[in-house]
Amino acid sequence: MLATSRKAMMRKTGAILPSQSEPLMRPMIVIGIPGDKRTSGIQQARSDLGMPPAIILSYAEFLQGRSLGDLMEEHKKQLSRQSSVYNGVDLSAAPPLLRLESPGSSFEIERALIALGAPDSDDIDDTLHPFADRPDPRPLRVKVAHQLKEMQGILHHPSQWFRGYCRMLARLQREAKTACPGSLWLNDPTDIAAMTDKRQTQQILSEAGIPIPRPVGEDQQPTDYDSLREMMLSRRMHRVFIKLAFGSAASGVIAYQIHPVTGAEIALTTVGVEDYITRPPIYYNSGKLRRYTDTATISGIINWIYQHGAYAEQWIPKAGLKGKAFDIRQLVVLREACHAVARVSPTPITNLHLRNQRISLSEAGLSEPIQEQVRNTAVQALAAFPRSGVAGIDVLVSGGSQQCFVADVNPFGDLLYDVKYRGCNTYEWEMKVLSARDYITPPSIPLIKEGLS
């Protein structure tokens, strides 16, 4: 009877909360950077909870041509030396839960992904690229990409990097089916590719009815500086945010405004420019905000971002605290909103990489009804990506109407410091939840408990 009801529930929800008498657990395999803050945080959390360590597979080795099957075989020795029993269950017999971590700031990995995205790459599977038919500007061939040198902050080739990233995701997805039969993804590579491209993210959210800032050109997005200004003026949208479609850590973000009468313009951005006489300028992430007012510089930056892929949206004034603006990073884990921080800044750009302040939502002055609205909005946003279980949702609360809007969905948005939920940090909470729940098929509706209809 129990087995019958369990099968019926799997068909209904795609995920279940197992009973204590029959726990469902899987070993965890993480594809990431061994020893970085993310993989170390996962291992520490599992150790503190008495769970077997996760197997960490290296991005770098996979990008060097090692197959997922080879890497798995190599790590079977690790399993044999360590206990795989948790709560009386032998995890070595279960198919794994696969977790893909952020490629981080490793230049070695960045360069390998740019090479993988080259037009002469051996792997040209662009099935996960949301805009694969749009050519990359001045693409680098594999040999040239491998010769790139690390230069602090330099944005070498964002669109080719993203093409390589999508090809890597597609390869992981293919090889996992053979190397790890019955395995499940915590966040599916298809969803990760969509979340990493802001154009695709906002389109998915909009189609799901999630409130987002109004895009510039809802039917047809701008393609360069001139078309952006034309659309802004024709729609009386004089303040916008322009974002590099696959940027992170405030890289490639511009808070841009035009005076409706004089046409004067101001751009606040982290993008720095080095101009040369005989070759194109170099654009880089300066790590701090710069203010530009001259048309030549502003148009150059905006055109460069649009060449690689950009998304522009209405600039909604954020809620404020003592003259500073803030938005919220809300973590969602398996349909539950948990850890949250308000990111406070004297500027319109609130990313914590710019050394902005982090405080609790209560310290930001948000009432409990508004906090609940933030949580509900974030949960609904992640539900728009039905094959994924964890993401950091960037939610802004408008300063006037107090309405919530989703600005971004980050599949790796759980690296939050000094914030607890029910006594747990982010990784501890995720491991606790995953020890009680298990994906069976991609979830389509919210989780329900056994015995409830």
Dump the DSSP string for 61-83: HHHTT--HHHHHHHHHHHHHHS-
Identify the pLDDT of residue 86: 56
Per-residue H/E/C for the chain:
CHHHHHHHHHHHHCEEECCCCCCCCCCEEEEECCCCHHHHHHHHHHHHCCCCCCEEEEHHHHHCCCCHHHHHHHHHHHHHHCCCEECCEEHHHCCCEEEECCCCCCHHHHHHHHHHCCCCCCCCCCCCCCCCCCCCCCCCCHHHHHCCCCCCCECCCHHHHHHHHHHHHHHHHHHHHHHCCCCEECECHHHHHHHHCHHHHHHHHHHCCCCCCCECCCCCCCCCHHHHHHHHHHCCCCEEEEEECCCCCCCCEEEEEECCCCCCEEEEEEEEEECCCCCCCEEEEEEEEEEECCHHHHHHHHHHHHHHCEEEEECCCECEECCEEEEEEEEEECCEEEEEEEEEECCCCCCHHHCCEEECCCCCCCCHHHHHHHHHHHHHHHHCCCCECEEEEEEEEECCCCCEEEEEEECCCCCCCCCCECCECHHHHHHHHHCCCEECCCCCCCCCECCCC
Identify the pLDDT of residue 217: 85
Report the predicted TM-score, pTM, of the whole model to 2 decimal places. Answer: 0.89
- CA dist., res. 275 & res. 69, Å (int): 47
Tokens representing residue 419 in the block: 């914030």
Identify the pLDDT of residue 205: 98
Identify the pLDDT of residue 14: 30
The crossing angle, in degrees rounded to 10, of helices 158-179 and 295-308 is 20
Tokens representing residue 272 in the block: 């720095």
Chain mean position to CA 351: 14
- CA dist., res. 412 & res. 187, Å (int): 10
Within 10 Å of residue 184's Cβ, how many Cβ atoms? 20
Residues paired with residue 283 on neighbouring β-strands, in sequence order: 273
- CA dist., res. 162 & res. 135, Å (int): 12
Tokens representing residue 112 in the block: 């390998």
Task: Please give the chain's pLDDT, 453 residues, in tens.
Answer: 333 333 333 333 233 233 333 345 788 999 999 999 999 999 999 999 998 899 999 999 999 999 999 998 887 766 556 556 655 555 566 788 999 999 987 899 999 999 999 999 999 999 999 999 999 999 999 999 999 999 888 888 999 999 999 999 999 999 999 998 888 999 999 999 999 999 999 999 999 999 999 999 877 889 999 999 999 999 999 999 999 999 887 788 999 999 999 999 999 999 999 888 778 888 999 888 999 999 999 999 999 999 999 999 999 999 998 899 999 999 999 999 999 999 999 998 888 877 888 999 999 999 999 999 999 999 999 999 999 999 999 999 998 889 999 999 999 999 999 999 999 999 999 999 988 754 433 444 433 233 333
3-state class (DSSP) for residue 373: helix
CB 421 within 8 A of CB 338: yes
Identify the pLDDT of residue 32: 96
Chain mean position to CA 118: 23
Identify the pLDDT of residue 395: 97
CB 97 within 8 A of CB 149: no
Identify the pLDDT of residue 277: 76
